Every structure is written in structure tokens, then in C-alpha cells.
A = this chain, B = another copy of it.
Amino acid sequence: MIAVIKKNTSKEQIAHLTSWLEEQGVEVHPSYGVDYTVLGLVGDTSKIDMELLDSLAIVDTVKRISDPFKQCNRNFHPEDTVIDIGGVKIGGGHFAMIAGPCSVESREQMIAVAKSVKAAGATLLRGGAFKPRTSPYDFQGLKAHGIEYLLEAKKETGMPIVTEIMNANHLPLFEDVDVIQVGARNMQNFELLKELGKTKKTILLKRGLANTLKEFLMSAEYIMSEGNGNIILCERGIRTYETYTRNTMDISAIPLLHELSHLPVIADPSHATGKSRLVEPMAMASVAAGADGLMIEVHNDPAHALCDGAQSLTPDNFAHLAGKIQKVREII
């Protein structure tokens, strides 16, 4: 950790700060410049409260050199983590194709979609039972019934299932769910993360709308620090000034997360763009950039089909995409 001390700070003030830092168990190496003094802090700096240090009047800036995430850090765990989800592997060269409808709507829909995405190459089935909605007046999902229909679709097809949790009190309902998703809006719901860390479930953690990669990894660290290392990271678009797409998909997050962490990284082009015609190019781009998996919305719902082409792909579109993805993976 480095602390840059402001011009015109007295030697006494610097000595004061130095003793305080040393009391907290770090060595302090000063470097005196013309305008500024730089203190290099060496040792276990994890106990230093960086925000407090930064807030001191004599401190210009503080920079943490070592990354604050430890358990998900590739430096301390160089090999890729491979997660096994009921026989489906992800990470370390294993690619997962997660597909299914945005919301679980009925038993029939789930079973029909499950069969068609399986036939087209999906390895995991997704579907939303609890739906986070901006408005309290919008459809909030089928909740427990939604999970029930997912489990039936799992039974019919043998595919492990992925579905989102919004409240740790609902955990008993997720007992037979294979992968529990944490949505973008809950990425920093630390209380939820801690509870999930106490389970052994695989957690699919989505990046928050306006969170940096380091914050994203710190949220993974919350889960890991409670003992659960089965985490899949998911890039799903960030909020920018551009209004043409729902979010701006940050494809560079994929190679960067691989560099910083050993956890598997997947991409969700459906939510990132909000436009079905962008799903294929952005899915291809994600795989070309090294994604370990994709999460794609697929429906076969007549209400949507009526008007031909919602944000989701049809099973046929999805099968076509899965074929192209396979070819790109062979090159990578």
C-alpha cells in the first residue's frame, strides 16, 4: 500500500502517522520527493482501513498495491477452478451452455422449452421463478410454483437448473436447485452473499449494473470467505450513457476476470443488450474473448411467437447459434 502525503506536511505529522501505521503492524518506507512524500507500507496491509487513511487531511491519495481479494485471486490459486454441476463441468476448458425462458410461466412451457434447448445443445436449464422488477406493480414471478415447474423440467430432461434468489429466507425452496443465481441488483446485498457462502451450492453471481471488476470480485470474496468456493462470475452489461442498448456489454471483463481470478466466467448477451438480434453477435464475441459459458434466453411461447421475435431467441435460433459457437470454440 502506498500513501502519498501532501506538500507542506510537517515532519512531526509524518512521524505521527508513521508510528500509528507501525502500531498496526506494517513497515513504513518513506520516499521524499520535491513536492510530496510517499510512504510505502509493507507487510500485512489488509488490516489498514484504506478509507480512513485516505480521509486524513495530510494524505493526498492512498493506493492499495496488493489486490484486496484473496480467495478468488489467481495469484494465490493459479489453476482454473472447474465446477461440477451434477456432472456438467464449467471452467478450465469446460464450456457450459445455459438456456431457458426469462420467466417460468407454466409447467407445460418449462418442459417444452427444456426439451428443445436440450436438443439444441444446452447443458443447463434456466428460468426465473422470483423476478426482481423495478416496479412493484409488475409481475413478480411464480415463486415457489416456478421452482416446482423447473424441478419437473429437470426430472424430464435430466438437465441441472439455474434460478435466481432474492431473499436468503427463501433458501429452503432452493434445496434441489443446482445453481443459485444472484442478480445484478443484489451483487452488493452482502447479507445475502454471506448466507449463500454458508451453503455448498454453486452460485452464479452477476456483475452489478455499475460495479467495477474489483467490486465484483470482492462480492465473490464475500461468498468464499464464508466457505463456499463454487462461484461462476457472469458479465451482463453495465450502465453507460448509451441508450441504444439496454446496457453496454463489457466484453473486456471476460479476459480481465480470467486474469484476476481463477473462477469460471460466463456472459449473458440477452440481458446485456435487450435485443434478440444482438444475441448472436455478442454471444460469438464473448466466446471469442474466452468465456467459459453463455446464458441465453430462449422461449417457445405462442404469445411472443405471435409477433415473431421477442428479446429471447426461438429454439431454432438457439440451435443455429449453438452450432456457430462450437466452431469458434474450436479455434480458441
Interface residues on A, range: 35 or more
A201-250, CB < 8 A from B: 209-210, 212-215, 218, 221-222, 225-226, 238-245, 248-250
Q: Which residues of B contact A41 (CB under 8 A)?
A: 33
| Copies of this chain in its oligomeric complex | 4
Complex Cα distance A314/B135, Å? 39
Contact with B along A22-38 (1 / 0, CB 8 A): 00000001011111101
Q: Which residues of B contact A2 (CB under 8 A)?
A: 2, 4, 38, 63
Complex Cα distance A59/B221, Å? 26
5 new A-B pairs (CB below 8 Å) besides A56-B309, A133-B190, A281-B289?
A35-B65, A60-B65, A210-B241, A212-B242, A288-B288
Question: Which A residues fall within an 8 A CB radius of B?
Answer: 2, 4, 7, 13, 16-17, 20, 29, 31-36, 38, 40-43, 46, 49, 51-52, 54-61, 63, 65-66, 68-69, 75, 132-139, 166-169, 185-186, 188-191, 194, 209-210, 212-215, 218, 221-222, 225-226, 238-245, 248-252, 254-256, 259, 272-274, 276-278, 281-282, 284-290, 303-304, 306-312, 324, 327-328, 331-332
Can you give 24 A-B contacts (C-beta < 8 A)?
Answer: A2-B63, A20-B303, A31-B31, A33-B41, A33-B66, A34-B42, A34-B66, A40-B40, A55-B274, A68-B135, A69-B135, A210-B210, A238-B240, A238-B241, A238-B248, A240-B240, A248-B250, A248-B252, A251-B251, A251-B281, A259-B277, A281-B288, A284-B288, A327-B331
